[in-house]
Chains A and B, each alone.
Chain A
């Protein structure tokens, strides 16, 4: 029985990888054939970034079981740190791919650091308290970035807080300009890079969840007291999940920012945090493939609804409610279970028939259970 469980898990994981790879290949082929609209093409990188965000938050909410309402804050840290790295290295690293990789790593590292620092006070709390405090930290990050000025000249990077009083040397430029954000970003994120990042995120999450640490993390989620009583260090495992989640969010932020021409701090506000939480809840807590589909679908949906002009967001909300109701409706759920069972039976019948046929032509078919 235990064996069967593990194998089902692995099967679902491989199905998730396969889904991502197939969708990527299909989109690549369509893109090569010029069959994608500019709208969809322009959205591919943001979709990848939101998918990674959803996966990252699913690690905190679904696997660790703590509600984080400030996840856009980590995205922001990653976006700005990554972009500052990419812009300042523009001259020394001419290859866009390498520069993007550096940006992603810097973004992930800075967000992980932020996650660690925030985690120290936050992870002492539980439930609603933790949610509220993460919300506050998200807002703090937004305010800090809003008042941060970073410039660059021959002498390296310069930073000021609150007021921009710096004097830059010859050939210098402001990179992060307080509330104006970073205006002149060279787009170096590609769909392929986004796709690879999704695979890396899945790889990290699946391996974590199926490891000893992952089981400890889920034990903390399921019963904190029981987990503590068997000697699991609550703080350590909570922190582990939280920091990994923050790092992934940072990488997603860096990917997102490198795919835009401008980013500002207010982009990563409370609304963005909630949007990502919606992806996770809609896709199902702890269910990674669900997060991927939900993030992609809900990013495309508002654009697909443009024909409704000003009713767009209303229709979006209704669709959201419908999907939430539908996925929780026992009848519809039952219908889908029956449907999948029916398909399975059909396939099994075919398989058996084929086996039988094969068995008849041979001497005797393999044993049937």
Chain B
């Protein structure tokens, strides 16, 4: 009897495996190899998009690849970037011009080793232009790989200085990683955000006693913290409390908040992503502690977090390049399309990825590039081209790049009022 059951379980598991295999297989071929589409539900509108160049054979379209966490704890960032890029690609393909794109995103689970594998998979596919990785640590790995292969990289959101290389460490002043000349960023670099935040707080006299909570096993959070501290010392800002948390301990902040409160901090600086930040806001409110809150671009998205009481975020200040509530035509169009297709409001990752594709499009257009060029030739062309353009996108007007790979755009100071962002100045 037992034996029979065991055999049955084997058969059942096998059957399930085959069903899934069929499922995944058909979803893929349906997209014409355009993209390993993470939600098969969205595959239909994708392929019905007019003039979807994705189905054109390779050689007629530029192959753009990217890696990001499409599954796992950081999946929200990866999927946002992927969807944003997909919208841009579909729009450009629908124009029917000479430049057509094929987009493919591979899952890297926010892990450097997996990102290397994902990058190699894209290389086997014949990727010509690389959107890098969505998150910092994987992108440090893929930028090194793509640098040795000489494939152009423009990352939407990997903000660590090690992605570009050649940037001085804010604490020691040493250059730890040499410049990777193929790598460019669409987002602010971490130190710029820390600098800008400290500057902003000092200029506007937002707080006398500052408390900081940061995630000390995270590249992004630590990077901003380091440059913030360096700048704060320069500007004579008084930092009274510095506390940390890690991936494993981000479920309770009572100790950190208690420390800030005991030391009489009137401004809480939160260089982190919005999930832990939302918890800090609600825990502060629970104990009746109401300092000013100041966040960075990772805070963007807090208003769309499921199950979060947005009234808690009232008065939170943050620096972010993108505002989904902006009323200019492009942003409205982008947000509407995104909502129609994916059923949620895009965050800055989506907007950055959207801008990346358009920036690449502009350079390719002005250089009259053709899809039959090799990845290495395209890399030379894009490297030279991108430093010469002035680009207007969703995340900023008049963006320019220099040979350091960093973007120059001004962060927008936003404050949350009545459940929406309002410009601070």
Interface residues of A (CB under 8 A from B): 37-39, 41-43, 46, 139, 143, 146-147, 151, 153, 164-168, 172-175, 177-181, 183-184, 260-267, 302-303, 306-315, 318-319, 321-322, 325-326, 329-332
Contact across chains for A306 and B144 when beta carbons are under 8 A apart: no
Q: Which of B65-94 contact A (CB under 8 A)?
A: 70-71
Candidates B71, B111, B176; contact of A174 at CB < 8 Å? B176
Which of B13, B113, B116, B144 has its CB near the most chain A CB atoms (within 10 A)?
B113
B contact residues around A265 at 8 Å (CB) = 217
Can you list 23 contacts pairing A with B, beta carbon distance less than 8 Å?
Answer: A37-B120, A146-B217, A147-B216, A166-B172, A173-B175, A177-B169, A178-B222, A180-B222, A184-B178, A260-B141, A261-B144, A306-B118, A308-B21, A312-B24, A313-B71, A315-B21, A318-B17, A322-B10, A322-B13, A326-B10, A329-B6, A330-B3, A331-B3
Contact across chains for B24 and A311 when beta carbons are under 8 A apart: yes
Candidates B16, B176, B217, B218; contact of A183 at CB < 8 Å? B176
Closest A residue by C-beta to B218? A179
Closest A residue by C-beta to B138? A262
CA distance A313 to B72 in the complex (A): 10
B contact residues around A139 at 8 Å (CB) = 248
Closest A residue by C-beta to B13? A322
Which of B38, B106, B117, B223 has its CB near the most chain A CB atoms (within 10 A)?
B117
Contact across chains for A309 and B36 when beta carbons are under 8 A apart: yes
Interface residues of B (CB under 8 A from A): 3, 6-7, 9-10, 13-14, 16-17, 20-21, 23-25, 27-28, 36-39, 70-71, 106-107, 111-114, 116-121, 123-124, 137, 140-141, 144-145, 160, 162, 165, 169, 171-178, 216-219, 222-223, 226, 246-248
Q: How many CB-defined contacts (below 8 Å) exist between A and B? A: 163
Chain B: minimal CB distance from A191 (Å): 14
Contact across chains for A179 and B217 when beta carbons are under 8 A apart: yes
Contact across chains for B28 and A329 when beta carbons are under 8 A apart: no
A contact residues around B106 at 8 Å (CB) = 306
Contact across chains for B71 and A312 when beta carbons are under 8 A apart: yes
Closest B residue by C-beta to A186? B144
A261-B17 contact in complex given A174-B174, A307-B24, C-beta closer than 8 Å: no
CA distance A41 to B349 in the complex (A): 31
A contact residues around B111 at 8 Å (CB) = 267
Contact across chains for A315 and B24 when beta carbons are under 8 A apart: yes
Contact across chains for B247 and A303 when beta carbons are under 8 A apart: no
CA distance A174 to B175 in the complex (A): 8
Candidates A153, A173, A303, A306; contact of B36 at CB < 8 Å? A306
Which of B25, B162, B175, B218 has its CB near the most chain A CB atoms (within 10 A)?
B162
B contact residues around A143 at 8 Å (CB) = 246
Chain B: minimal CB distance from A257 (Å): 10
Chain B: minimal CB distance from A81 (Å): 18
A contact residues around B71 at 8 Å (CB) = 310, 312-313
Contact across chains for A179 and B17 when beta carbons are under 8 A apart: no
Contact across chains for A322 and B14 when beta carbons are under 8 A apart: yes
A contact residues around B113 at 8 Å (CB) = 46, 260, 267
B contact residues around A332 at 8 Å (CB) = 10
A315-B174 contact in complex given A261-B116, A267-B113, C-beta closer than 8 Å: no
A contact residues around B247 at 8 Å (CB) = 266
CA distance A16 to B78 in the complex (A): 42
B contact residues around A310 at 8 Å (CB) = 38-39, 70-71, 107
A contact residues around B137 at 8 Å (CB) = 180-181, 262, 264
